Amino acid sequence: METGLAGKRVLVTGASGGIGSACARAFAAEGAEVIAHYHRGRERAEALGAVTVLGADLTDEEQVDHLFAEAGRLDVCAAVAGIWPAEDVPVWELSLERWRATLDANLTATFLTARAFLRQLEGDGSLVLVGSTAGLFGEAGHADYAASKSAIIGGLLLSLKNEVVRRSPRARVNAVAPGWTESPMTRGHVSDEQVRRVSRTMALRKVAQPDDVARQVVVLASPHLSGHVTGQVVTVAGGMEGRVVHE
């Protein structure tokens, strides 16, 4: 089916990562002109091939604004970049330093990205945010991550949905909420036993592949497929219903 993305200028943040690189490839396959953002993984972004590659630390206001100035006019932005501190730490032991770093890398970076994208928006435009099932169900040992992702797919998304149309009457913003997805972020955390455990609340008992998420990002970004869809969160987690709390 035609997505209407051919020739559109698309910035994917976190395109050096697992889900972001799948998004960059999926947009390129639709004929979009892809600008692939990286932070530390320049070579991984360059390995994507026929795309423009730009670096920035998205927690830094100046670097974000410089990135968008270099990127030029954009039709679509997929704000994929983010971090998941792997260590399990309950709130009563969680350092303020980690809390702030996680909120900065996920929520503040998404705010700065959305702001810069909207400042340059002229015609129709589409912004796709990336949350997580942690933002829907919580994640014990990762309250910082869960809180940052809830804020993205809750207050930020729903406010943006009503604001973007002031910039452009047909502009849209949506989000995906992936569950466990095989990527560098989860490498070493998806043993067979862990997959058995986390998939116990999922109708489709599998850990997602980055392409599973990327296809939904493309569908939401597409003006043809999702032209009347805004403010929505699509959960890509095989029908997950929550977390296993007790064995």
Ligand X SMILES: NC(=O)c1ccc[n+]([C@@H]2O[C@H](COP(=O)([O-])OP(=O)(O)OC[C@H]3O[C@@H](n4cnc5c(N)ncnc54)[C@H](OP(=O)(O)O)[C@@H]3O)[C@@H](O)[C@H]2O)c1
- Site of interaction with ligand X (CB under 6 A): 14, 16-20, 38-41, 57-59, 80-84, 105, 109, 130, 132, 178, 180-181, 183-186
Nearer to ligand X, 38 or 99 (CB): 38
How many angstroms separate the CA atoms of 186 and 179, rounded?
11
CB of 118 to ligand X, least distance (A): 19
Listed in sequence order, the residues at least 6 apart from 238 whose beta carbon sits closer than 8 Å to its beta carbon are 179, 199, 202, 203, 204, 205, 206, 208
Catalytic residue among 68, 137, 145, 180: 145
CB of 85 to ligand X, least distance (A): 11
Nearer to ligand X, 32 or 79 (CB): 79
Nearer to ligand X, 103 or 185 (CB): 185
CB of 184 to ligand X, least distance (A): 4
135-138, long-range: CB < 8 A, 24+ apart: 135/177, 136/177, 136/233, 136/235, 137/240, 137/242, 137/243, 138/243
- Annotated active-site residue 38? The verdict is no
Q: Are 79 and 129 in contact (CB under 8 A)?
A: yes
Task: Give me the active site residues, please.
Answer: 145
